[in-house]
Amino acid sequence: MINLSINKKVLIFGFIFTFFSSFGQSFFLGLFNPSIRGELDITHGQFGTIYAAATICSSVVLIWFGKKIDEFKLFNYSLIVIIILFSSSFLFSLINNIYFLMIAIFLMRFSGQGLMSHTSSTTISRYFNKRRGRALSGIWFGLSSAEFILPILIVFLLSIFSWRTIWQFISIIILITLPLVIFYTIKTITINSRETSNLNESKKRFKNIKSWKRSEVLRDFKFYIISLNMLAMPWIATGVFIYQSFIADSKLWDIYIIPKSFMVYSVISILTLISSGFLVDKFSSRKLIPFMNVPLLIGMLILYFFDFSYSAYFFFGLVGISNGLANVLGSSTWAEIYGVRYLGSIKALTTALMVFSTAFGTAIFGLLIDQGFTIEYIALVSVIYISLSLLALLIIKSSIEPIIYSKKT
């Protein structure tokens, strides 16, 4: 077996966990939306309401269970997460009514989008300091890879196998692969483990920045304004991903335009991830946050004004830029401002808010679609939200700084 450094093993762990989080992500679940709605005979709005309710429930549970990463040994915590993801994937293949659908979506959102991404991003943000930006961009490459590979693969597999068979196959892959991954990569990692190079310098940096408890963070007004900006990408992108078939039908796009656009989205996300990691390490997350949602804003304007099929590539490409930035900034910002000792507890909260926002996006999109509103109207609502949250962020930008303890001499 190849003898890798601890740093590389932690990065491999983060990459693979982030890749496997895709099974609970909206872009992936949305691929099965038409099949499930057709089999259960439900509308877009009904599916969206069920999806939103299940996602909200998962976000509530995540606030409690997510903070346990600060208390459990990482290996044991990760093993529990794997068991939940495996069980959720297998149960998803057994959906036969709307009640089972809600339970299955709850479990997939909780284990996939919630716990898998929470575990990987919290571990990387805590373990790395000097190279945190590059490390985070590396692991989020896992999700971008999944977004590049899986949509076109699943569309192809659905032409051969039933959606239930595909989910059973997914559960087998999880059961075989992930236990081996954590045994090889993070068996010895603890809450106090740090990147091996410049260890003394890293520990000094962590010690000098105040570590906020979650209760303190909740009393900080900056947290809410930053969160409004962080949540724009999740709720808007989720609505787009879940109702991708509706968008394609509304714009009269070919059935393969969306899967092909996802490939553009993934490539752009990857390129942005690579560059944003270096930018975070050079300039800090705090200085980059105002730029995060600008491409998303432009993308929604394109969705509003244009119908031609190639506009899908421009739209998804711009969303990919914001996604690449958001994936890195969504983890590194909280570590920069609030420290790392209680990062698991804080990240559990922010991940839960992110999951909740995806429920909000799904519900809003679904209800508006059922009420007869066009995708152009929905895009306009998104533009207004992005603009107002960005304005609020620019007003408080100068106050977004960590509390640094002065060094005693």
Query: For residue range 206-243, what is the model confidence (pLDDT) as tens digits?
Result: 457 788 888 999 999 999 999 999 999 988 988 888 78
Residue 195 inside a domain? The answer is no
For residues 132 and 281, give the distance between their C-alpha atoms in angstroms, rounded to a whole number. 7
> At 57, which CATH number?
1.20.1250.20
User: Are 11 and 139 spatial neighbours (Cβ–Cβ below 8 Å)?
Assistant: yes
Residue 194 inside a domain? The answer is no
Phi and psi of 161, rounded to 5°? -115, 165
Residue 131 inside a domain? The answer is yes
Residue identified by tokens 């909280």 is: 334
Reference 333, options 76, 153, 125, 54; nearest CA is 125
Residue 307 inside a domain? The answer is yes
Query: Would you say the C-alpha torsion 9, 110, 294, 374 has a positive or negative sign?
Result: positive
- Joined tokens for residue 203: 């520990």
User: Are 61 and 388 spatial neighbours (Cβ–Cβ below 8 Å)?
Assistant: no
Domain containing 299 equals 6-187+209-399
| pLDDT for the residue 116 | 95
Interval 367-402: pLDDT, tens: 888 888 888 999 999 999 999 999 999 999 888 887
Band (pLDDT 50/70/90 cuts) for residue 2 is low
Query: Would you say the C-alpha torsion 242, 363, 35, 140 has a positive or negative sign?
Result: positive
Residue 192 inside a domain? The answer is no
The count of structural domains within the chain is 1
Band (pLDDT 50/70/90 cuts) for residue 84 is very high
Residue 409 inside a domain? The answer is no
State the pTM of this model. 0.77
| pLDDT for the residue 283 | 85
Residue 193 inside a domain? The answer is no
- Joined tokens for residue 308: 């031609």
Highest mean predicted confidence (pLDDT) among 104-113, 130-139, 193-202, 363-372:
104-113
Q: Is the pLDDT of residue 93 over 90?
A: yes
Residue 282 inside a domain? The answer is yes
